[in-house]
Structure 1
Amino acid sequence: MYIAVKAAWALLMSMGLLMLGNGLQGSLIGLRATLEGFSTQLAGLLMSAYFVGFLLGSTLTPKIVSKVGHVRVFAALASLASTMVLLHSVFVDPTLWFIMRVITGFCMAGLYIVAESWLNDLATNQTRGQLLSLYMVIVIGGMACGQLLLNVADPGGFKLFILISVLLSFALLPVLLSDAPAPSFAAAAPMGLRQLYHSSPLGVVGCMAVGLSNGAVVGMGVIYAELIGFALSDISMFMGLVLLGSVVLQWPIGHLSDKYDRRWVILVVTLLAALVALLAIPASQLSANTLLATAFLFGGLSFPMYSLCVSHTNDNLEPKQMVAASGSLVLAVGIGATLGPSTAAAIMGLVGPNGLFWFLAVVHAGVGVFALYRMTQRRGVPLDEQGHCVAIPATASQVAMAMVQETAVGDTDRAVESQVEAKIS
């Protein structure tokens, strides 16, 4: 593992800086939108615009990389993303911000794809799972720390936009100065969503629901906190604790899903997330600390649902289908993430700030109901045939998702080999 980390340190550093900047940017745009007098619904559309661009970038970047090359694409997208951040502070117009958010989402998707391609190229069958776990901590941890940077300067000024631009520019350096050769990138032919749904209905529906939930939290969480009267320090802590909770509870939940029927774990975790979302409504009336603790717990239950749904999908696929399914799973979560912020914003506009948690409760309860229904339609995968649950952030591109699938294929192959050896002996 030490050798793998030593080889990948530049890439991991780049991703950490990218996530610091991206985590700060998402919250700053939402907060600044309210400070500029944009309506909640308009702010929700701006947050959704990022995920529209992210979907486009996930689809188009592999084609651009194949023509231009990794280094040039990474440099161009990082430069463009850095420019878009600065333009937000110059032109305060919702139409222009929407376009800028689409472009920013496109750039970030491309940056993830290039960096994760390099990471995948450096990984081996023995280190891939460990590198993915470390990558997950860096991505979520970077986003969480990015929230705390809101306290560095006044969100109503331009200094935070400059800071984000600097972070994105610095993220370019480790990759460009790395002596690791550029990897080859060959995207697998995707499995259609309809075909994937027939193989794993709960996995696909769960991934879309995760997109709805995570997109709403990441996009509208800072606006919710500002509307209920949180100070800037509490706003940054609120968002940071949501993300920190996802890191802390990811592995215990994943471990449980390896020991028990994964559908039952999905059911319990999603219903608990729905319950905590409902509890957040009265918690907001009690004290800031109570709501912050609730936010930590919700993040710890909601965000790991992505890893559970991906692992459940893998359990229902043949090894040769897993890598092809990666792009469709990214598409499923991307569709949900695109709809999440604008839908949550519309509900918040009707019933007030707590509409965010009403929306989150309904989404997670809906997954629970669907999970119960699916249990009546199909027998569960035997425990000895379940793959290992690999922690993965919902922001991952199809490259990282393919790494998860490759890890699952490796786990399946090793399990088969162990069963064969046991029968022989």
Structure 2
Amino acid sequence: MNENSGIPVLDVDPYSAENLTDPYPMHALMRSAGPVVRLKDYPTVVACARHQETHAVFNDAQTFISGAGVGLANFNIEKPFRPRSLILEADAPLHTATRAVLSRIMSPKTVMQIRASFAQEAERLLDKALELNAANGSIDWMAVVANPFPLKVFADSIGIQEEGRENLLLYGDMVFNSMGPQNEVFTKSVERVVPVTQWIMDQCDRSKLRPGGFGDLIWQAAEAGEISMEQAPMLVRSLLSAGLDTTINSLGNAIYALGHHPQEYARLHSDPSLARPAFEEALRWESTVQTFFRTANRDCEIAGVPIAAQTKVLCMLASANRDPDKWPDADTYDIGRRPSGHMAFGSGLHGCVGQAIARLEGELILTALAKRVKGIEFAGPHTRRLNNTLRAFDTLPVRLIPA
């Protein structure tokens, strides 16, 4: 087996500006074409856009590995042009060791301990948002709430200094862009991050981290021999790159969903305890992480379709989350739905290690919003920040109708 023959070939580019802006027609085309498709512009890639196959690939970590990179590049056969993530781009036994450290640090017990301080900050931010909304008639949700909240609570939890935290947004944008082709979107993000790269690296040094924060606990694990001293700053950097942009844009996507579905927001406003399911459904309906790659570790099959070893497998997570074979009325945002099995945080061994904290952040912001606001109106056109991997906003102007 030396080629992926007999697979439908589509003339679509997931990384075009058109498809990054509005990916859903492309998703429908890919799902309808078959369980596995090829892309004309990416001959070394096959893609899965349906839920069943995407879920199966993510849950077979021995056949479909992450260590060759979760982006377009295959680090097994080409020199990595960036450092591999110790969490996202590692296979056993390396992944086992590093994930064990982070799983302990960001355990359910930790989530319980940080809940009160996170909730206090969510309440403060929503009070500030309503003040600005009253003064100006509207707010930019991204600038006032979605960006500041994780930059405050999650960065505090890691233990990095307050000055310069906005640099983390440039870094995260570049990291997720690097998982696609080296197109204009990627090269511009690299240009933006170059001036702050040294600042990012400096924040991973133990001397810069607050004692007792997640970053310091990673260094303690290195001292205990659970990971190497060289791996400690790389693991801190993984938290800085993966834990902010994803949550920030999930908060934006949740408000985008609720603003487009006023009847669903009315349900949330009348019962703020629905904040968690409202956020969960937003993760499914408008997935922040649109795509991740795996690499076939051997000749294998997906849904009976032969796949050659070293083939990059593009997993269309956002498409899987709107697969009508998995979700009735999949294009409908419904906070009464139980979207168990959605792929917004991945699945299997490489499922997002910080997802409990991301869910906490989403729940607390939507709870604070529901208690204070009876309606959301869009106050002008939003602007997208095109990213090769993320569904992201630059601006999201909304008018909050106070309760």
Structure number having the greater helix percentage: 1
TM-score range, shorter chain: 0.3 to 0.5
TM-score, normalised on structure 1? Answer: 0.31
TM-score, normalised on structure 2? Answer: 0.32
Structure number having the greater strand percentage: 2
